[in-house]
Every structure is written in C-alpha cells, then in structure tokens.
C-alpha cells in the first residue's frame, strides 16, 4: 500500500533516513535458557533489506541526477510499503534470573515510581507505539508494540543501554528476545509462576497486576499491551485455581527462609537469633514465613515503627522487637541470621563494617548468615570474603527449588495446556482488532443513510408531528439498521471461542470493504507512521 503523495516524500524523510541507517545493525537473539517446562524456542531478529532495482527504459537518455532521484523515490516508496504492510509486533526484551546475574539485573532495575516515565520515553522512540515495564528482583523486562521488529529492538536496546550505562554489546550477552506468540506465552508463563525460581510462587502475579495498575491512564500503555497484561492476570489466576500449582510452593521470601533453615544446624533452630531488615512487602512475608517455621521472637529494623507495629498487631503470638536504622549494625552483631529486603540503592553492609561485628553464636557454628533478597543488593559482594560469614542472594534460592520435582512437573504440564488455550484466545482477540476500523466505518455508513432517510420521511410527514410519533419512527429505523447489521457484525468478530477462523473473518472484512466502498481512508498504520514523523519533526 503506497503512502499518499503528501506523505511519501518530505514527511517520510525523517523517519526513513533514521531507520535506514540502523538496518545494517543486527542483534542476534540469545537463546532463552530452558526454564521450567519452557518449550525450546529459537528467537531471532528478522533481517530487513530494502532493495532498489531501478531500470528505467530511457536510461540511455535520462540525466544521471534524474536516475538518482528516481532511485531515491523508489527506495522511499519500498520502505513505506514495508511499514504499511507489516503488522505491528508485540516484542519482549529482557533479562531474568535465567539469563543474567544479579549484578547485571540490578543495573537495569527500574523502580515502580519510574515506570510511567520509562513508558513515555520508550513510546517517544520512532518505531515504538506502546510499552510496559516489568521490573522485579528476578527480572527486568520491556514489553513493546513495535511498528518494525528489528528497528524497534535496536531502539529499545539503545534506550536500555543509555538508562543503565551498560554497553549494548554487554546487554546482548544476557538478554532474551521474543516476538508475538512467543512473547505472549512468555508473559503468561511468568504470570502463572512457571518462569520463577520457585514454581507457582504467587508474588509475581501481584507484580503483573501492579503493571496494569500503574499503567492505567499512562499514554503508551495502549490497547495491545494493556490487553496482554490483563489477559496474563486471568491466566495466572486460572492456572493457580485449576492446577493447584501454588500448593506447597513458596514465594521468594519463603524460599529465603527455607534456604536459611537449610543452612542452619538442625539442633540450633529453636535458639537462632533472627534479624529482618526492612518491613515492606518482602520483609513482611519473611516475618510471616519465619513465624510459620516456629520462630517466636525476632528483631525488625526499619526506617519507622509504624509498619512494624502493624505486623506486630497481626502476629500477636510472636515477639517482634522494633529497632531504628541507626541501630542496624548493633542488631546485626547480635543476630545469627540476617534477612535484608530494603529498597536502598547502595549496600547496607560492606566488608569494612561486617568484619568488626561480634561472631555469631556457637549454636550455628559461629558463622553469621546473610540472606539478601533485595535488588539492588543490600549486602556487598565483598562481605562473602569474610571467613565467618555466609552471604546468599536471590540467585542462590535455586537450591530451594530442588525438592518434589516430579509433582511440580506434572502441575506445570497442566498449566501449559491452559496457557496454550489462553494464548490462542488472546491472539484471536488481537487479530480481530484488524476488523475494528471496518466495523466502525460500516456502522457510520449505515447511520448516515439512516439519518438521511429519516429526515426525508419526517419532512414528508409535516412539521406538526407529535414527539411520540417522531420517536417511534426513529426507533423503527434504528431497529431495522441494527438487525440488518447484526449478521455482518457477527462475521467480523473472531474471539477464538467459535469455529470461525481468522482467515474467514478477514475475508469477510475485505468483502465488506469492497461492497460498501469503505476502504477509502488511509490505513491505520499509515496514520501511525504519519503521527510518528510529525511528532519527531517538532
């Protein structure tokens, strides 16, 4: 589909010249490491080459500059055709616990308060229409709707590099990249807890919900991406309900407690001195899981006492002692196990201050355990150099996942069946969006005819028509139009729940466009490209 003459040359220059310079830079996708029951996927960036074979019949007499100009125009037109014929793609670019170490993930972590800003910046890129950010302790994933796959990926990678100060070449070593159906399935697996360190853990579903909550009203969190995340929430709930996959599974906080107890001598469990630093969501869960393990007393360090008091009120049978942050080091010196879960962007514990702490009790072998579930980390990596200290972070929770593998596999297989079904429905919904412009234009066409004929009818009936009669005639005409449109409208919808195929739906769309001459406006995609060009020329 060629662009209108008012758009194809000057207005297209800015977008084409910028994007054509990027076409030679490719980003080979790193194969996604096999997660729990993940299907092997080969992901790649599709190479797009715009060719220009200019063979004018009068080449022998045409001036050289005329030939060059003709070639340039053909090049622009071929690029324009490629944009308007290529459907926008859902793409996920990310790093997770399966592909990147915590040192890399913490550099790219985006605080929740910054998600709207990140969405706005991503959507200001030439080839990105919609965006969302999912940033947790185990993953940092960018979801976008891209006008062009490889150009969109290039722009997002450059944005990630700029915001994290990590070179693109280094990001490429750890990232994963998925398109359309694979991207959809990935998010559904994430929401269902299949991509987590601890299979079926529920915290990630709450984090997916938070993406939708934060995205509401944010320009750029559009129909496709918001629809994807909302459907992922449905999938996560359905998997947990129908497979009971969360039964016996634990969250990251619970896994942290499990890991600590695995490392402690069995005889010491009743006497171990517990310290929790941070009383936010993660810290609260750590406290609850400690209580579930039989811990009756612990110290909680937090910036304020308000949250600790609320937890103490909820867990009345447990002695929870509050201490301010100023006493953190003193409390650590009196504890055998230290859990850290704060939002601090700099380490709370370094080798220089931990080495001077009193030793842990002999009940635990004299070795103090730090379990750090924060990203960025609260405990510096240098602390692990100390002989009588053991430091564990979110990457070490893999040990906890090792038990009851057969049962988890069975439940994960059941979950994959649900995910496949829901993925099909989501793709059918997304594909059916192509018919929305036709539905709107057909309704508008019918409404124009209805109003014109209604006006003629009422004009023939005179000026003194009772309001009741006027309303009855209007209702009659509206009812006739609605009944006539019902059949065509039904055949323009395809949500995956009936036997109608997408190809049949699209055939119906094209037929209606031809019969009613509806396909007279420039395409929706052309409008998006025009808006992008005009926006970036300001």
- Separation CA 69–CA 8 (nearest Å): 14
- Separation CA 375–CA 135 (nearest Å): 10
**Looking at per-residue confidence, does 434 or 449 come out higher?**
449
Q: Which pLDDT value is given to residue 246?
A: 72
Mean pLDDT of the chain: 79
Hey, is 334 helix, strand or coil?
A: coil
Q: Name the least confident of 9-13, 61-65, 132-136, 288-292.
A: 9-13
pLDDT over threshold 80, residue 306: yes
Query: The domain 252-396 is classified under which CATH number: 3.30.43.10, 3.40.50.920, 3.40.50.2020, 3.40.50.720?
Result: 3.40.50.720
Across 23-32, 38-47, 115-124, 440-449, the highest mean pLDDT is recorded for 115-124
pLDDT over threshold 70, residue 55: no
Q: Which pLDDT value is given to residue 199?
A: 77
Q: Which pLDDT value is given to residue 394?
A: 87
Mean pLDDT of 418-422: 92
pLDDT over threshold 80, residue 292: yes
Please report how the helices 203-215 and 223-243 are oriented relative to each other, as an axis angle in degrees rounded to 10: 160
Q: Which pLDDT value is given to residue 46?
A: 33
| Pair of tokens at residue 194 | 């299949």
Q: Which pLDDT value is given to residue 460?
A: 85
| Pair of tokens at residue 491 | 């055949």
- Separation CA 492–CA 500 (nearest Å): 10
**Looking at per-residue confidence, does 537 or 438 come out higher?**
438
| Pair of tokens at residue 55 | 């063979």
Please, which pLDDT band fits residue 49 given cuts at 50, 70 and 90?
A: very low
pLDDT over threshold 70, residue 171: yes
Percent of the chain whose pLDDT exceeds 70: 74
Please, which pLDDT band fits residue 14 given cuts at 50, 70 and 90?
A: very low
Q: Which pLDDT value is given to residue 140?
A: 95
For residue 269, count CB atoms less than 10 angstroms from its CB and return exposed for 0-12, middle for 13-18, buried for 19 or more.
middle
pLDDT over threshold 60, residue 205: yes
pLDDT over threshold 70, residue 63: no
Q: What are φ and ψ of residue 477, in 5° steps?
A: -65, -40
State how far the alpha carbon of 217 is from the alpha carbons of 49, 213, 220, 531, in Å: 38, 9, 9, 20
- Separation CA 3–CA 527 (nearest Å): 10
pLDDT over threshold 50, residue 525: no
Mean pLDDT of 276-282: 93
**Looking at per-residue confidence, does 252 or 251 come out higher?**
252
Nearest to 285 by CA among 345, 201, 349, 214: 201
- pLDDT tens, position by position, 328-368: 999 999 999 999 999 898 999 999 999 999 999 998 989 99
**Looking at per-residue confidence, does 144 or 42 come out higher?**
144
**Looking at per-residue confidence, does 320 or 515 come out higher?**
320
Whole-angstrom Cα Rg for the chain? 30
Q: What does the CA dihedral 447, 450, 452, 455 come to, rounded to 10 degrees?
A: -130
Mean pLDDT of 245-255: 73
Active site residue 494: no
137, 295, 331, 494: which one is catalytic?
137
CATH 3.40.50.2300 fits 85-243, yes or no: no
pLDDT over threshold 50, residue 256: yes
pLDDT over threshold 60, residue 94: yes
Mean pLDDT of 223-236: 94
Q: Which pLDDT value is given to residue 30?
A: 38
pTM of the model: 0.59
């Amino acid at each position: 589909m060629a662009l209108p003459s008012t758009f194809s040359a000057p207005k297209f220059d800015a977008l084409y010249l910028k994007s054509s310079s990027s076409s030679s830079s490719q980003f080979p996708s790193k194969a996604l490491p096999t997660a729990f029951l993940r299907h092997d996927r080969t992901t790649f960036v599709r190479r797009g080459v715009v060719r220009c074979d200019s063979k004018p019949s009068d080449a022998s007499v045409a001036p050289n500059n005329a030939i060059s100009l003709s070639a340039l125009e053909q090049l622009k037109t071929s690029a324009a055709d490629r944009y308007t014929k290529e459907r926008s793609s859902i793409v996920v670019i990310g790093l997770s616990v399966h592909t990147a170490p915590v040192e890399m993930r913490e550099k790219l972590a985006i605080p929740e308060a910054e998600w709207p800003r990140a969405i706005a910046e991503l959507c200001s890129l030439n080839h990105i229409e919609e965006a969302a950010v999912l940033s947790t302790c185990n993953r940092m994933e960018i979801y976008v709707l891209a006008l062009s796959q490889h150009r969109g990926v290039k722009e997002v990678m450059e944005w990630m590099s700029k915001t994290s100060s990590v070179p693109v070449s280094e990001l490429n070593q750890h990232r994963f990249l998925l398109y359309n159906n694979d991207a959809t399935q990935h998010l559904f697996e994430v929401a269902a807890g299949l991509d987590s360190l601890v299979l079926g853990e529920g915290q990630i579903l709450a984090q997916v919900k938070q993406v939708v909550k934060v995205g509401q009203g944010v320009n750029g969190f559009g129909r496709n991406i918001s629809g994807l995340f909302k459907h992922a929430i449905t999938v996560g709930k359905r998997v947990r309900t129908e497979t009971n996959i969360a039964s016996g599974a634990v969250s990251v906080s619970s896994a942290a407690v499990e890991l600590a107890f695995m490392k402690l001598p069995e005889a010491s469990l009743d006497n171990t001195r517990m310290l929790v630093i941070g009383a936010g969501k993660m810290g609260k869960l750590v406290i609850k899981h400690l209580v579930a393990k039989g811990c009756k007393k612990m110290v909680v360090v937090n910036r304020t006492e308000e949250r600790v008091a609320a937890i103490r009120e909820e867990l009345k049978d447990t002695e929870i002692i509050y201490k301010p942050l100023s006493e953190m080091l003193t409390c650590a010196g009196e504890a055998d196990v230290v859990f850290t879960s704060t939002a601090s962007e700099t380490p709370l514990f370094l080798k220089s201050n931990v080495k001077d702490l009193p030793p842990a009790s002999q009940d635990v072998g004299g070795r103090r355990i730090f379990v750090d579930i924060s990203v960025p980390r609260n405990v510096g990596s240098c602390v692990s150099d100390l002989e009588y200290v053991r430091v564990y972070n979110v990457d070490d929770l893999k040990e906890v996942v090792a038990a009851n593998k057969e049962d988890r596999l069975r439940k994960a297989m059941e979950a994959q069946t649900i995910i496949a079904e829901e993925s099909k429905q989501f793709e059918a919904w997304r594909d059916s969006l192509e018919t929305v412009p036709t539905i709107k234009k057909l309704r508008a066409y019918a409404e124009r005819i209805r109003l014109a004929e209604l006006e003629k009818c009422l004009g023939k009936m005179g000026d003194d028509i009772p309001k009741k009669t006027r309303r009855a005639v209007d209702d009659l005409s509206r009812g006739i139009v609605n009944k006539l449109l019902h059949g065509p409208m039904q055949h323009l919808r395809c949500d995956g729940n009936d036997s109608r195929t997408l190809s049949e739906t699209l055939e119906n769309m094209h037929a209606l466009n031809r019969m009613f001459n509806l396909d007279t406006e420039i395409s929706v995609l052309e409008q998006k490209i025009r808006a992008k060009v005009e926006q970036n020329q300001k």
